[in-house]
Structure 1
């Protein structure tokens, strides 16, 4: 079936479309419009075009320009979903004329045309995002329609997926399915997941997905993993095609898409199958699903996926990745999964890591293992595993030993064995983390009563920091009358474009909206920091706050894509709605910054916290509205591996070394990788201190800061402590090796002229009660009179510091004495002195 691609007239991109966030009630295009919806959209486009002409004749050129562009966009949307070639030509001609009128208006009345406000969640805009994501690995993937579900005419020239080097090494060639599997039917009534075997194709994750899907079908009649293949019989299962041509329906890049294949399959020179099959080679569907999927993914040399990703494409089930790290809560995870598995709401596989050095002997690195069953009883929790890499009974190399899969004696001895069968192995749940790196789960989306989805692109700025970008959306929650918490799942799906994509990462931050709080104000991050991931899917689950109706969702991206796109889906048991983020505040300022050897201070528990970049944020009142309180929105983008935190503090725009919680105006206590944001309102028009910190002083990289406000603002970098002054530094220690009472360290300070100074004392190894005193000296060098001190002993993390004070000239100099408690303590100190004149600092004892 030939398809024409509806292309946007190139001139549309030159009409000055600027993205301005606007809330919209439009739903995401989850499917192609019905004939009735298409006709309604056509009438809407015609009415908009007619309205544009009236505006132009009336001299309202700005309104005419806006309406012409919107009408053209509507016609382009209709073009993409029009089955009639004749009608397509008519629509294309109409859209071209509308764009020409808009272009002429813009050229003739340039000063009268305001930037267009694009509603990026309108049906047309989301449809355009899906259209731009239609090509994956060089294969165009048309969106699925019901017309694709029937027998397709055979095309001898259909392109075939690229064979893997191993297949080519064995001189594989394409042969009709009837020759490769001469006795096979499409699907056997006795189908079990354990019947499916992986051949020498490196697609263990896909075959594991087929295994757990077929096993689920055998228990629940779900057709999981099978229903993607067409044509189908009345029972909804794939059947043999009369034309030897098949279509597969995959959920890819935000929508269901079609891949067309014929029934030619790879076979060795001797005629042996080189594809997924069943043990008896009596079923055709695994090889056909595998071929269609690998055609989409760039060929039979397939690496880097997991079963959750693969099963999502085959079925639309929600993928979840759980790292089996040392911090993994085994019991809590079992409780959550076991009941769902028993009820048929989830399936799962296990994956090993890349490192062979830390691998259990006998397991395969970067390999997927299917989970056939979970068992609980007699104080034990067990997992039945299957390795997809097995040999079919029809293979000439089949023997009783290799028919029992690749469970070697090494594996049987290394894993905590409970029970074993010919092809499966049962292990203890609590020992999984010792042998496997990750759990890959797939969840039935029908388990939730409500869901919503949107498709977006992330605006990129030329020269952005670390190839990063972020965008904001909102999730609105309609709570039940009793306002009980409900579990909400949010899934970010990064759109794919090429299997060679490298260094692309996506992240998600969820923040309670201060606008919707029923108890006080202030934005609060829902979850602790999590790394950006190169997995195309990122799932976050959280329990809703009954006092919060709106959550801000910040999706961040790191990578080289010029037009990064994603789909955001939310699931819950209460009504939910995804919408665009709030419009930007009218006043804004963007700044570039960095953490360097001198300015990477780390978190507030580090003695160097005061060295972090700090900014003075000054708000000014509006003359026409002098009583208007201020509102601030702050965002920071940095490298994907850097945990970042932004914190706004009441310190009148002065540099801080520490703070108390009561001083914090806005900012979470946790750090977030690559991106952080905060929001504050009800602010007086005055100056505040903004601290941008990385979690540890070892993080040294650039960042981009953006501050927005409803009031005029000025953001400026606060100079570091001692800026513009002469600096002296000394290090040493309190205490003596024998533990006897210490002699207090002291330094002689010589000034040749009246000098202003500030002195800081720190205990770098950790908080310690310390104090510093400055004395004038007598002729014999002994302390004479107290001149300045840091006050009582303090264990502040950043140490103690004097005020800015002045010392007159003294022939005998001044004595700086460093004290610590208890008197027998052994600890290092760091003395920092800043002066407006050259001074001499000499240790005394």
Structure 2
């Protein structure tokens, strides 16, 4: 669920000493909506000195559509050229998605050679396929600087009369005026561009639910490589029809500080477990149903395709890479575990009793979480057992529990 927020602005726009606009504007000077919408967005983001973002973030703020990021050159994310193009072609022409694409880091020489701006977003205006050739029509939002590679307006070798007619493109007319619009093959886009940003229509989904929560930075360790006990977790239960269903979960980190946007240091993700909705304590026990990639974007989309009818239950775990905040503990036990106090596991009956032992009293019944952390080169574990109780706890009372396999 998305809520529209009114933003009040005046009609003053920044200009230089010659009266030229220093903001976005339409080539039709009688149109002001582009400049006014940008001003409203800049006000929300803290002013015209906004450090910048990407088109996924911007379109989500302006439309509320669901953002997705497809990395074309990532070691962590599988990318299929054919499957991705087919999906983009079908969904674009059905009006389900808005598409932008962005270049990555490149040298000034490379940018000049290919007519591309490094780390810059382009709008996708059209997608076509003709006799096995796949094309996208892109627009540089600057309304100038176009692609200089194959099938550019000055390429005299690649074009055929049939293809020009199919795409309704006249290279000679295009040479007279650079409006930033050009055609590029899908193969060249995959080679010279870095990422594709998708903004999906929420109308595709009949059901939706939204939860606003917070994660206290003082909870848990800096890294959650070994324990997820302090991570926010949610139980997701889906009543799936016989034909299957698609479930998308969008994690959005709220940003309220302009410096936060500028630094861009927070890496978040969402990990999905099939544990019947039970809490997950260890990252790999059980192995994730869908593991997340930690990215420094405020949005992370997880897509699940469910097959077979009935109830599907998952545990959703919010994860963050290396929190920078100070860690505070309610209870801290300090001691040493070496030499005579390192008694080994229960197989060593004579020395096992020399292991560190801590005793604590609980005044009332309730859930209890105990964590033992050690250096990664050692496998550790512990046992908890009841020494004495006040009154009869009955057969359901706690007696003894082990942390399980040493890890």
TM-score between the two structures when normalised by the length of structure 2: 0.70
Say if 1:513 and 1:548, in contact at 8 Å, map to a contact too.
Answer: no
Determine the structure 2 residue equivalent to 1:472: 233
Match for residue 15 of structure 2 among 248, 264, 267? 267
Q: CA deviation at 1:260?
A: 1.2
Counterpart position of 1:592: 373
Structure 1 partner of 2:122: 369
Shift of 1:446: 0.6
2:380 aligns with one of 615, 638, 646: 615
Number of residue pairs matched by the alignment? 326
Match of 1:352 in 2: 103
Who is 2:269 aligned against?
Answer: 507
Contact 1:617/1:689 (8 A) holds in 2 = no
Distance 1:350 1:295, change over 3 A: same
Is contact 1:621-1:685 (8 Å) kept? no
1:440 counterpart SS class: strand
State the partner residue of 1:341. 92
CA RMSD for the aligned pairs? 3.4
- Correspondence for 1:460: 217
Residue pair 2:100, 2:121 contacting (<8 A) in 1 also: yes
Which runs of 5 or more structure 2 residues have no equivalent in the other structure? 279-284, 327-364
Change (3 A) 1:549 1:620: farther
Q: Structure 1 pair 492/264, CA: closer, same or farther in 2 (3 Å)?
A: same
TM-score, L = length of structure 1: 0.35
Quick one: distance in 1 between partners of 2:73 and 2:58? 23
Specify the SS of the correspondent of 2:58.
helix
Q: CA deviation at 1:591?
A: 3.0
The answer to whether the aligner puts 1:439 opposite 2:196 as a matched pair is yes
Q: Secondary structure at the match of 1:341?
A: helix
| Residue 427 (structure 1) aligned with residue 156 (structure 2) | no
Instruction: For residue 615 of structure 1, give the secondary structure of its aligned residue in structure 2.
Output: coil
Q: Which of 311, 314, 333 is the equivalent residue of 1:551?
A: 314
What is the rounded CA distance, in whole Å, between the counterparts of 1:451 and 1:260 in structure 2?
29
Question: What is the rounded CA distance, in whole Å, between the counterparts of 1:336 and 1:294 in structure 2?
Answer: 33
Q: Does 1:535 align with 2:292?
A: no
Picking from 79, 88, 109, the partner of 1:328 is 79
- 1:458: Cα distance to partner? 0.9
Q: Pick 1 or 2: higher relative contact order, CA cutoff 8 A, min separation 6.
A: 2
Deviations 1:137-166 (Å, cap 9, x if unpaired)? xxxxxxxxxxxxxxxxxxxxxxxxxxxxxx
CA distance in 1, matches of 2:254, 2:22: 30
C-alpha separation between the residues in 2 aligned to 1:591 and 1:545? 39
Corresponding residue for 2:132? 379
Paired with 1:457 and 1:447, the residues of 2 have a C-alpha distance of: 28
**Where do residues 39-54 of structure 1 align in structure 2 (5 Å cutoff)?**
none
Question: CA separation of 1:274/1:489 partners in 2, compared to 1, >3 Å: closer, same or farther?
Answer: same
Q: Unpaired runs of 5+ in structure 1?
A: 1-29, 31-250, 391-404, 517-521, 563-583, 600-612, 631-683, 692-845
- Are residues 593 and 431 of structure 1, via their aligned partners in 2, closer, same or farther at CA, if it must alter by over 3 Å? farther
CA distance in 2 between partners of 1:338 and 1:306 (Å): 22
- Going from structure 1 to structure 2, the CA distance change for 1:309 and 1:467 (only over 3 Å counts) comes to same
Q: Deviations over 1:809-844 (max 9, x none)?
A: xxxxxxxxxxxxxxxxxxxxxxxxxxxxxxxxxxxx
Structure 2 equivalent of residue 389 of structure 1: 142
Q: How far has the Cα of 1:620 moved from its partner?
A: 5.1
2:146 aligned partner: 407
Deviates most, 259-268 or 550-559: 550-559
C-alpha separation in 2, matches of 1:557 and 1:511: 16
Using the alignment, how far apart are the partners of 1:339 and 1:408 within structure 2? 25
Q: Specify whether residues 440 and 530 from structure 1 end up closer, same or farther in structure 2 by C-alpha distance, changes over 3 A only.
A: same
1:79-228 aligned within 5 A: none
Partner of 1:175: none
Conservation of the 8 A alpha-carbon contact between 1:621 and 1:627: no
Paired residues of 2:269 and 2:293 also in contact (CA < 8 A): yes
Task: Report what 2:205 is aligned to.
Answer: 448
2:24 & 2:123 partners in 1: Cα distance?
15
The answer to whether the 8 Å contact 1:359/1:435 transfers is no
Conservation of the 8 A alpha-carbon contact between 1:513 and 1:524: no
SS in 2 for 1:433: helix
1:724-739 equivalent positions in 2, closer than 5 A: none
Instruction: Please report how far the alpha carbon of residue 427 of structure 1 lies from its aligned counterpart in structure 2 after TM superposition.
Output: 1.5
Which one has a bigger Cα radius of gyration? 1
